Amino acid sequence: MSLFTVTATVASKTTDLVYASYSSTTTPTGEPEIYRVFPYYTYKPNLGAGALFAALFGITFVLLCVRIGLGCKNRNQVERQLGLAEFDKEARQGPIEAGFTPATPCTNTRLVTKFIPLLIGVLTECGGYIARIVSRSDLFALGPYVAQTVMLLVAAAFMAATIYMIFGRLMILMNATKVSFVPIRFNTAIFVGADVLSILLQGAGGGILGTSDDKKLGSDIVIGGLAVQVFAFGLFVITELRFLFLADKVSPLTSQISRQWRILNYNLFVCSLLILVRSIVRLVEFAQGWGGYLMDHEWCIYVFDAVPMFWVSILFFITFSKGNLFRVEFECTSMLQSRRRTGSIASA
């Protein structure tokens, strides 16, 4: 495909019209067919903003990997010592109910797998903004446009998967599964399943937007994926609120362990709200369609997508020392089992 520009002047207004010729298709006379083409953007993507967020997400990815690795290492060290000095010093002392059995400990490997979707989401955000930088040099290039569309759409869904899995484990550890609207054995499967469906729909819709002339079909599929995400997240946020307000009443552990579980849930709740707001705005964006205000103004993608998603990723890093899954897993399993063996159990 080759592009050429024709300048047209009508009523004192000058406009550049871009046409493409395809050597693979010819007219009946043997001449290459020529079509008018339109850029995929109504603006030229900003280099500074794209580079800034690509760098921020890239740095955050590295920081999160280090944090998660240190979380594994610290838990292993303390469990080997069994003196529990480092972790137990913040935990509240008191008898454990005799009828309560701590959850079966989860291996560090299984805990790490819960963070993998988050890390994929952060890398996907980074890749999306790199693709926007590449698009600057050719607004008619299909590859970079499809890449940035799909990656920036599905990144939030990957991050949401980590939130779902961590919250499901948190409810089991705290013995507070009764606050969930969904039976706990199906809780993670249903929310993550909805998340996977959302990723598939948004990815497919984003691909159609870039490769097909039927923009409405692509937009409708993306809207369907975003609607699934908004519905699932709305129900999930309500469940998180119930857990936050009812945990002290339904869980026998809140008086026995530190506030790490509460800070962890605060983080999950705030991140969920950020993703929910972002998804609602993007739903409105695709509902407005091509030519809509949100799609035609670049600042919207940064204010309503880049900023919230960056805060989601950085909040996991910032709150890790005061509220992380490895610490809560340790306090609710190994530490309680150790104290049970030493006799700190209330008589029935």
Same domain, 32 and 107: no
DSSP structure string for 187-209: HHHHHHHHHHHHHHHHHHHHHHH
Q: What is the CATH number of the domain that holds 82?
A: 1.20.1070
Give the separation between CA 339 and CA 167, rounded to whole angstroms. Answer: 25
Same domain, 24 and 114: no
Give the separation between CA 299 and CA 145, rounded to whole angstroms. Answer: 17
Give the separation between CA 237 and CA 234, rounded to whole angstroms. Answer: 5
Tell me the HSE value of 208 on the side-chain side, using a 13 A CA sphere. 16
Same domain, 144 and 257: yes
Per the domain annotation, does 246 fall within a domain?
yes
Give the separation between CA 199 and CA 233, rounded to whole angstroms. Answer: 14
- The length of the chain is 348
- Report the domain count for the chain: 2
Supply the range of the domain harboring residue 7: 2-36
Give the separation between CA 331 and CA 55, rounded to whole angstroms. Answer: 36
Same domain, 101 and 196: yes
Same domain, 81 and 183: yes
**CA dihedral sign, ordered 167, 173, 174, 178:** positive
Residuewise pLDDT in 10s, the chain (348 residues)? 555 454 545 445 554 545 454 555 545 555 555 554 567 788 899 999 999 999 999 999 999 999 999 888 887 776 666 444 444 444 444 445 545 667 788 888 899 999 999 999 999 999 999 999 999 988 878 889 889 988 998 999 899 999 999 999 999 888 888 888 777 777 777 888 888 888 888 888 888 876 766 678 888 888 898 898 888 888 888 888 888 888 888 888 887 788 889 999 999 999 999 999 999 999 898 888 878 899 899 999 999 999 999 999 999 999 998 988 988 888 888 666 655 555 544 432
The phi, psi pair for 248, rounded to 5°, reads -65, -25
Per the domain annotation, does 41 fall within a domain?
no
Chain-centroid distance, C-alpha 31 = 49
